[in-house]
Amino acid sequence: MDKYEIVDMFEQNFMTRSEGEAGVKSLENVCETLGYGTGFMRNRAIEEFLTDNPGAVEALFQFITEWALRNSDWQAGMEDALAEEGLVDE
């Protein structure tokens, strides 16, 4: 099997759940499969993966930015954080 077939088959079989707790558990399992969360410190695999892959963090930031425009609760939280830092008037 070539690398494209391996990745495609893995995606089809192990990266199918993305909702709720099942989605988080699925992501945790994928990160463990990639070798994260198995070291001496036994950190959570997702945390190790994000620490080691800044592009994944950037993708999450982008996701948050896009969805915040549709979510008034997220906007309120962002506005509160800006106010706490003195960046906007309360």
* Two tokens, residue 58: 């950037």
Tell me: do 31 and 61 sit in the same domain. Answer: no
Q: Is the Cβ–Cβ distance between 69 and 51 less than 8 Å?
A: no
Domain that holds residue 14: 1-52
**Cα–Cα distance, 58 to 50 (Å, whole number):** 10
Q: Are 18 and 46 found together in one domain?
A: yes
Domain count, the chain: 2
Report CA Rg, the chain.
18
Specify whether 46 is located in the same domain as 80: no
**Range from 41-45, 57-61, 69-73, 77-81 carrying the lowest mean pLDDT:** 41-45
Q: Are residues 61 and 42 in the same domain?
A: no
Same domain flag for 42 and 83: no
32-45 tens-digit pLDDT = 999 998 866 667 89
Q: Contact at 8 Å (CB) between 14 and 30?
A: yes
Same domain, 44 and 61: no
Cα–Cα dist 25/46, whole Å: 10
43 and 58 part of one domain: no
| Average pLDDT, integer, range 58-86 | 94
